Structure formats: C-alpha cells, structure tokens
Amino acid sequence: MSTKKATSALISVFHKDGLEPIVKKFNELGITIYSTGGTEKFIKDLGIDVVPVEDVTSYPSILGGRVKTLHPKVFGGILNRQDHDGDVAQLEEFNIPQIDIVIVDLYPFEKTVASGAPEQDIIEKIDIGGISLIRAAAKNFKDVLCVSSMEDYSEVLELITEGNGTTTLEDRKRFAAKSFNVSSHYDSAIFNYFNKNHEEAALKISETKGKVLRYGENPHQKGFFFGDFDAIFNKLHGKELSYNNLLDVDAAVNLMNEFKNDAPTFAILKHNNACGLAQRDTLHQAYVDALAGDPVSAFGGVLISNKEIDKATAEEIHKLFCEVVIAPSYAPDALEILKGKKNRIILILNDIELPKNNVRTCLNGILLQEKDAKTDALEDLKTVTTLTPSKEDLDDLIFASKLCKHTKSNTIVLAKNKQLCASGTGQTSRVDALNQAIHKAKSFNFDLQGAVMASDAFFPFPDCVEIAGKSGIKSVIQPGGSIKDQLSIDYCNENEIAMVMTGTRHFKH
C-alpha cells in the first residue's frame, strides 16, 4: 500500500468551523500551509505561519475575488505526478511548490438559492476556483489528499494525527470519491437552477444523504433510501423504518397535507391507501371514527394526525398494533404512553415544503411529472343536476375528493359526516371499485343512506351512479368529461341525486 508523508497543504475554505485543530496539527508536523483571503487571515489570527498564494503566483486576488487560485503554479503543484521525471523537473524549472493536501470547500450555492436571494447573488455563489481545485486534487489522488467538506474535518484530523502526516493510497482514493460526490452534486444543483422549467430535456438527480435499509419490498431485495429524512421528521422512538414503512409514510404525509389547516383530522393508512379517515371537533373522536372505517386493515398500519396527539388519543392508539405514528407534536404524557411499545416508530412531522415533482423508474428510463398540486375546492364545483347539494353534502364531497386524490386508481370513495365509510382501491374497473367500497362499508355496518361518492375519473356509463343511488348515495363528485356524461346526469335527475363536476381528474397509478 503506497503511503505518502505530507509536507505542504493548500487551505481555502468558505466554512471555518472545525478547521482550527487541523491547522494547529499541520503546524505541529511542520507542514507548510498556503492559503488565500479570509482563510489566510483565519490562520494568521491563530498565530500560525501561512504563505499567501499570491506570493507563489505573483498575482493578487483579482476581479472581486473571482480569480485567486486559478494559476499554473497552484494547479501545477497539485496535478504533477511525483513518479514522472518530466513533471518533477518542470516543478523545479518553473519554481512550482509541491502541494500534498488540498482542503477546499464550495460557496453555498444551494443555500443561497433556497434563501430566495436575487439572481446576481446566486450567480456569485457559483464556485469556479474551488470546484477546479477539488477536481484537480481528487484526480491526482495518487499524490494528493483532497478534503472537500467540513463534515470530513474530524476524520482528516484523525488520519493526520495517527499517521504523523502520512496517508495511504487507499485513504486518498476514498477521499477522492467523496470529493467527486461533492463536485457532481454541486454541478447538478447549478444545472437544475438554470433548468428549473425543464427547457433542456435532461434530468439530474443528486442525493448526498443515503442509508441502507434492512431490505426492499421483500427480504430478498436490497433497499436504500436517498434523501434527508431528518429534515422532514424528528424520530422520537422505535425501530428503523423499512422500505415499505417509508412508502406508507410518504403516502400519509401527502394525504394529511390536504387537511393541514383543517379541524382535527386523523388518518390510518395501509399499503399507501387510507383505510380510515375522519374529521371531528376533537382529535380523540377523529381517531376513534377513523379506526371504525376499517379496524381490520388498521392492524400494522401507519397513523397520522394534523394536530398534537393528546393523552386520551394516545391511550386509544396504544390499544392498536401499528407500525408508525406521525403528528406535528405530542403531549408529554401522550408520548410516554406511545413509547410503551418498543418497536413503534414515533415521528414528529416538521413543517417543510415537499418536492414539486414525482420521479419513478420506467422501463430502461425514468418518468418525471409535476406533483398533483390541485386540491378540489368549493369554487371549482359545477352543479350539473337539478338537485343542488346541501352545505353539509358539499363539505363531505370536498372531504371525499381530497381522499380520492390520494387513493390508488381506479378508485371510488364513500364518505358521510366527514368520515370515510369505505374505498374501492386499485380496481381494473370503476364498477368493481364501487362494488368493493359498498361491500366493505356494509361489512363494517355503515349506513350509506345520505352518504356521498367521489370518483377519481369520469363515468363512461351511468352504471356507477345507478349502483350508488340504489345503495343510498345522495351526492356525487366527479371530474366529468365523458362523451356520455349526460347519461349519468339524467339518471341522477330521475332519482333525486345531486352531482357536481370538478373538471379535474386525479388518477394515481
């Protein structure tokens, strides 16, 4: 294994946190330090000798700091091959210092974009010198250790301390991989900023935070999650989330976002679909009525609330075996109750914006679409029957429509008094979905007389409204748009059923 003792280092960083002990260790080991600008001042203020890069290049920092290190004497010191006689000779000929360690980070481009800064500020955070130094040092890992993130400072300090300034080829190659991860992610972020409207038909996805899951959908499949889970949730208790847990949690969060600012609402999900949903004056009652929607399917499900979970609600939840509980907060006594099951996963949902696009693999490529951000509202509804829904019916229709949007197609949702009675989910025909929903509602003793029905797409024939009407449904919400819409409207008029159309389909494949 090829080892190399460092005698020099170039340090030029935006973030100084954690840098001090490294600088002091370099000084202790007699490593010559080259630096620029603010980093140079930082090192001098520590009382440690530092060589300004401009003393090497004979050029000052110019163009408002845009050009500091972009010079052959800097890049020659990094890119030379120590086992190449010609390279070594040219270093001596042109008085170029050998550089063994490069510690450089990048301007905070993504943070600047996220802050809503004006475009000129964003453009100035596109790093040129830093990214070039990282690429050069990482390319020449045979001779150079490249450190490209403050997150790696503690590991670098440990390496340098244990080896008295000596690193192995294996270490340098590993840090090169870290550096190219940083540089490729940075370039992807810049491209995506310029291509935010997808004028260029290209897709750059880069996630630098990832974890290995126990397995995928099934134990024989490998599984990984790439993303910043901790930005969305504070995990308070329980085992590690599985691949399937994460899919259910995603479905739960997206569904509850529809009810974020509403009265207390509770949902129970299983296999990405809600098997219980209710909105009430108290969270406790919302949970009880959500569970009543399908207490069988609720076993092993994911539970989510739009309000703080109190003690009374926690006591009810604790009676049920469930995988995950999600809420914006928990009363202290409620949290203690829920922690009574050691494997139960308890999450606090943070108030952050979710991605605006859906991405999934397809064949030998990737499908990308804008997320369905449209939520049906009262102002979207067009009454197409002679009978107009009552205010209570309209509230139930909107409630059912929100749920329908987040249920696997083909779907039918039956609701009454802001409670899910039953859904028909993922069926190959809308009639099958409706029959499934009716059968399920009756099996849990729901009285469908006066209930409402939501459909994720139009009715090509009047069969669904006929089946629904005979089961007691009195109001229907659907997108409309079939060439045979009038057949369904006529049946509703003849049987005193109110129907509204939204003009918006909500397929979820």
**With contact defined as beta carbons under 8 Å apart, do 467 and 490 qualify?**
no
The helix or strand, by DSSP H or E, that contains position 487, with its residue range, turns out to be helix 485-494
**With contact defined as beta carbons under 8 Å apart, do 159 and 171 qualify?**
yes
Q: At CA 10, angle to CA 5 and CA 14, rounded to 5?
A: 135
3-state percent breakdown (helix, strand, coil) of the chain, nearest 5:
40, 20, 40
The burial of 89, by beta-carbon neighbours within 10 Å (0-12 exposed, 13-18 middle, 19 or more buried), is given as: exposed
Token digits of residue 316: 């009810």
Token digits of residue 237: 């208790």
User: Measured between alpha carbons, how far is 442 from 408 in angstroms, rounded to an integer?
Assistant: 21
Nearest to 313 by CA among 338, 293, 295, 296: 338
User: Measured between alpha carbons, how far is 184 from 204 in angstroms, rounded to an integer?
Assistant: 10
**With contact defined as beta carbons under 8 Å apart, do 276 and 283 qualify?**
no
Is 474 tagged catalytic?
no
Of 25, 271, 374, 442, the catalytic one is 271
The helix or strand, by DSSP H or E, that contains position 185, with its residue range, turns out to be helix 169-194
List residues bridging with 9 in a β-sheet: 33, 101
Give the position of tokens 């300004």. 52
Token digits of residue 505: 């389909």
Is 15 tagged catalytic?
no
Which residues have a Cβ under 8 Å from the Cβ of 502 and sit 6 or more positions away? 376, 380, 381, 382, 401, 477, 478, 479, 480
**With contact defined as beta carbons under 8 Å apart, do 462 and 439 qualify?**
no
Token digits of residue 450: 């006066």
| Residue 462: other Cβ atoms inside 10 A | 19
Which residues have a Cβ under 8 Å from the Cβ of 83 and sit 6 or more positions away? 142
At 150, give phi and psi (nearest 5°). -65, -20
Helical packing angle, 72-79 and 129-139, nearest 10°: 30
**With contact defined as beta carbons under 8 Å apart, do 304 and 334 qualify?**
no
Letter for the amino acid at 149? S
The total number of residues shown for the chain amounts to: 509
Of 24, 139, 339, 341, the catalytic one is 139
At 246, give phi and psi (nearest 5°). -65, -40
Which residues have a Cβ under 8 Å from the Cβ of 198 and sit 6 or more positions away? none
Catalytic positions, please? Answer: 139, 271
